[in-house]
Structure 1
Amino acid sequence: MPPQSGQPVLSALDLGTNNCRLLVARPQGKSFRVIDAFSRIVRLGEGVAASGRLSEEAIDRTVEALRICARKMRERGVTHMRNVATQACRQAMNCDDFVERVVRETGIELDIIPPAEEARLAVMGCQALLDRGVRRAIVFDIGGGSTELIWTTIMPKGQPKILGWMSMPLGVVNMSEIFMGNNDVTPESYRAMVDAVRERLIPFDKRYNLSFAIKKGGVQMIGTSGTITTLTSVHLDLPRYDRTQVDGASVDSEALAALCQKLAGQDYQTRAANKCVGTDRAELIVAGCAILDAILSIWAVPRISVADRGIREGMLIELMQAAQHDLRTGKPFGRTDLRASNQEQVNVE
């Protein structure tokens, strides 16, 4: 249903290496209210690690999902939008052809954002879960084709400020393709995944002296994306995934590390039988476990705050600010696209 006159409608689309996800929302006070959503596993980045190209099958799956997103945006009368794509598109040699096809067949113009912008939006989307009483935070986002880690400080008014960040081109999709064949994992291949991630994390740790800061206390950790939310739902022994119980949960780090080891030791069928994992994630969850295992082996925080929110929510916050500016200035609502907005900015104040 189109919006009432003068009422902005916001949409945030995040096309990742594994998932295509959309949120449509209306501003509500200082926040927003989600009025429509869509999520589908499309595995856009399937095979990119080996071929350097998006496959035709993956493109077809993704375009079909984006058609649904475009229809929802039209039906909801979206006035302010942002549509981003991440690591798979950054990496693929045929990304330009894919983007042109998406515009031609769906009308959606994708904004291929750099890792710095991906990190910034993740922090902005998770900031409501930050404990304002703890000055420093490590935020991590385990994606399909990359993993972002962000070192932040909490400013006096409660806003997070990014002190440093890193993006490594290792996520659950390409790690699974590189280290696991036919859904099989051995103790040796799991250890190899953990070591590959640790090797990339250590320079970041040394550059910002994170281990020392954690030992002193006063550092919180927030995790976002499918790996940490799935693991949390398994840890909580939920009958099925429930966002209301996962988003904002605080989980013991040692318990999560033990769960990672347990899942890595199971076969594919056993993992798939868990209703919080299912067949969609049974293959990829082990790579996510290895990434989280590496993170916790370096940064031994006692607990992790879990966010079933991230890039899309970060975009919605900025879209809401843009809509409020348009209301104040009397700008008539058209179809405002924040494409390429703030891509060089990494400070979320």
Structure 2
Amino acid sequence: MEGPPLPPRQQTLVAAIDMGTNSFKLLVARVLPRGHLLALARLKEPVLLGRGRAADGSVAPDALLRAVAALRSFSLALRALDVRFARVVATAALRSAPNRDDLLTAVSAELGFQVDVLSGEEEARLVYLGVLQFLPLFRRTILVVDIGGGSTEFVVGNKGKVLYAASLDLGHVSLTEFHEKHRHFGDLRSYIRSVLNQSPLVDKVTELGFEIAVGSSGTIRSIERSIFLDGFDESMIRDFGREWRFSRDELGLLVEKLTSPNPSEVERAKRLGFRKRRREFIVAGAVLLLEIFETLGIDNIEVSGYALSEGVISEMLTNDRMDYDISMNARWRSVVSLAMRFDGDDRMKSALHCVGIAKELFDGIRRSDELVDGNARLHGKDFEYMEAALLLHNIGLLMGMKGYHKRSYKIIKNCGHLHGYSSEEIELVALLVRFHRKKFPGYQNDHLKELSAEMRQKFRVLCVITRISLRLQKCHCVTSQRLEVFPTEEGFEMVLGSLKDHLQGSHGIELTSAVIEEELRPELDHFEEVFQQKMSVSVAP
């Protein structure tokens, strides 16, 4: 899909389509002004390009039809979201298919997609860029392992530069087919070890070394999830959060369970918590990963929630935005990473909605904050604290609704996953989460004693804006494009753009300015208490 260059300093929707061996994936992301990347939508279609291939490696005709159908559905989604800038990449299955041009020509003619067929090394490099968007490892030498359906990519990287990249023809789909023919796990392991040892991979990794190993594929994320569920400790999750990592010993125990004689492989995978679409291929994927651990001397592996698609978008930004620096935003990435450990896509979308509303409120008040007598002036960094709190306010819901705001506070304080923040800044973010609901804290509240006087005042200002934003979001009556804040003689006026037929609450009540103001009344009273000025609400005609 063609489109204009990315606007340099405004929120932008961009997309990446990954035509993988097992499935096609669509990622739509919003690029925020500071170069932050936040996923808005993810779609996945089980195309299975690697299944039923001819002897010469050609993709089967029915798989080609599934591929076009999947891309057609992605095209409709992009149009519905008004995404005008997207990049489409293909990996191992098309890289080696003699009839790939049949598919590429059909896709270009019908849908207008220009597909980049990545080399193995290019795929590995983009996976590395994606990992750097999720984990604050820019200055560390890391080994990235990404297991796909038709190949596995390896990268050793440091400071955004690839020191070594390799792609081996070891994928969970192709290895599953190998195992179905030989029906013996010893043969599968021997074959994997042979491919690993015959490549330059082992010598190069030994020569370069690495500080941390990172796994970035759906297979590795599924393995981590199964290991986590097997050793689930409720108190650990409540207090510290889920650790996205696992050891060689934990992986070895999982492989033992997956390869035991009874019951069937698919049934064993089901019992171990693997989702339906993953069960067929997870045994081969887990055996492959264990052989990689042993061959490359990996004791523990970190797990990244981002991979190829995020790397594709990261490169798009690097090429088109002068203000984008992949080495920056460690603070932002650590917030998003922590949020993703607990929240699914739906809650992340809801949190992003709140961030947009809060930004308009913050900017409107900040433009007039010389009118706010006695309050600490607002700065751009202050919004960052509130943004982090809004993205993290739901993380305590993993353990249930009751008291989740207190659990969220505890996780943020104890988890050690927020990088680049001072202890006082972490305390401020945690307190904004702790008091986003229920009782509004007074200036002398015991919970605020760890903050300086200036930070206590700033906290109360940000807390009010946070609470109003969340209450507005729950009304389902406003987006950030339909909200403005203006100074008035009495204080401030919040103007909501006309929503016509959509201006109704969840119970079908027409949301007039009076109804919305009544819904917001407790928070508007807190606003007046903190700012010593009123906030009124109106709906534009």
Q: Tell me whether the two structures share a fold, i.e. TM-score over 0.5.
A: yes
In 2 relative to 1, CA 228–197 (structure 1 residues): closer, same or farther, beyond 3 Å?
A: farther
2-side partners of 1:60 and 1:193: how far apart? Answer: 32
- Which structure shows the bigger proportion of residues in helix conformation? 2
Query: Which position in structure 2 is the counterpart of 1:256?
Result: 251
Q: Does 1:286 align with 2:283?
A: yes
1:205 is aligned, of 202, 207, 221, to: 202
Q: Distance in 2 between matches of 1:150 and 1:36?
A: 27
The structure-2 alpha-carbon separation of the partners of 1:197 and 1:293, relative to structure 1 and needing over 3 Å to count, comes to farther
How many pairs align?
305
Q: Does the alignment pair 1:175 with 2:170?
A: no
Q: Is the 8 A contact 1:246 1:308 kept in 2?
A: no
Which blocks of at least 5 consecutive residues in structure 2 are unaligned?
Answer: 1-6, 232-239, 325-541
Report the 3-state secondary structure (helix = DSSP H, G, I; strand = E; otherwise coil) of the residue aligned with 1:282.
Answer: helix
Note the 1:262-341 alignment, pairs <5 A.
Answer: 262-265=257-260, 267-274=264-271, 276-325=273-322
In structure 1, distance between residues paired with 2:287 and 2:319: 39
1:20 has 2:24 as partner: yes
Cα distance between partner residues in 1 of 2:138 and 2:63: 44
Aligned to 2:143: 138
Task: Determine if the alignment matches structure 1 residue 64 to structure 2 residue 69.
Answer: yes
Q: Using a 3 Å threshold, how does the CA distance of structure 1 residues 73 and 275 change in structure 2: closer, same or farther?
A: farther
Quickly say closer, same or farther: Cα 1:196–1:176, change in 2 above 3 A. Answer: farther
| Match for residue 12 of structure 2 among 3, 8, 28 | 8
Conserved? CA contact 1:230–1:277, under 8 Å:
yes
* 1:109-138 deviation line (CA, Å, top 9, x unaligned): 211111121011000000144454973211
* CA–CA separation in structure 1 for the residues paired with 2:119 and 2:157: 19
Residues 111 and 313 of structure 1: CA distance in aligned 2, closer, same or farther (over 3 Å): same
Percentage of pairs with the same residue: 30
Say if 2:230 is the partner of 1:232: no
Change (3 A) 1:207 1:299: closer
Secondary structure of 1:96's counterpart equals helix
Compute the TM-score of the two structures, normalised by the length of structure 2.
Answer: 0.52
Q: Which runs of 5+ in 1 are unaligned?
A: 154-158, 240-244, 328-349
Contact 2:18–2:309 under 8 Å retained in 1: yes
State the alpha-carbon separation in 2 of the partners of residues 185 and 68 from structure 1: 37
Match of 2:162 in 1: 162
Please name the residue that 2:337 is paired with.
none
Shift, 1:301, TM fit: 3.0
Structure showing greater Rg: 2
**CA–CA distance in structure 1, aligned partners of residues 249 and 138 of structure 2:** 23
Post-superposition shift, 1:208? 4.2
Tell me the distance in 2 between the aligned counterparts of 1:89 and 1:172.
Answer: 16
Distance in 1 (alpha carbons) for counterparts of 2:123 and 2:278: 23
Structure 1 contact 20–41 (Cα < 8 Å) conserved: yes
Judging changes above 3 Å, is the alpha-carbon distance between structure 1 residues 301 and 199 closer, same or farther for their aligned structure 2 residues? closer
Question: Structure 1 248/315 Cα, relative in aligned 2: closer, same or farther at 3 Å?
Answer: farther
Greater relative contact order (Cα < 8 A, sep 6+):
1
Q: 1:247 to 1:151 in 2, by over 3 A?
A: farther
Partner of 1:85: 90
Residue identity in the other structure for 1:205: V
Which one has a larger percent strand, Structure 1 or Structure 2? 1
* TM-score, normalised with respect to structure 1: 0.78
The whole-number CA distance in structure 1 between the counterparts of 2:41 and 2:134 is: 22
Task: Render the CA deviation track for 1:84-129: whole Å, top value 9, x for unaligned.
Answer: 0011111111000111112233332211111121011000000144
Q: Is the 8 A contact 1:123 1:310 kept in 2?
A: yes
Correspondence 1:195 to 2:190: no
CA contact (8 A) 2:265 2:283 kept: no
Q: 1:121 aligns with which of 126, 130, 133?
A: 126
Q: Closer, same or farther in 2 for the Cα pair 1:96/1:199, shift >3 Å?
A: same
In the TM superposition, structure 1's runs of 4+ consecutive aligned residues that sit over 6 Å from their partners are: 245-248
Q: SS of the counterpart of 1:24?
A: strand
SS of 1:176's equivalent? Answer: helix
Give secondary structure in 2 for the equivalent of 1:209.
Answer: helix
Q: SS at the partner of 1:9?
A: strand
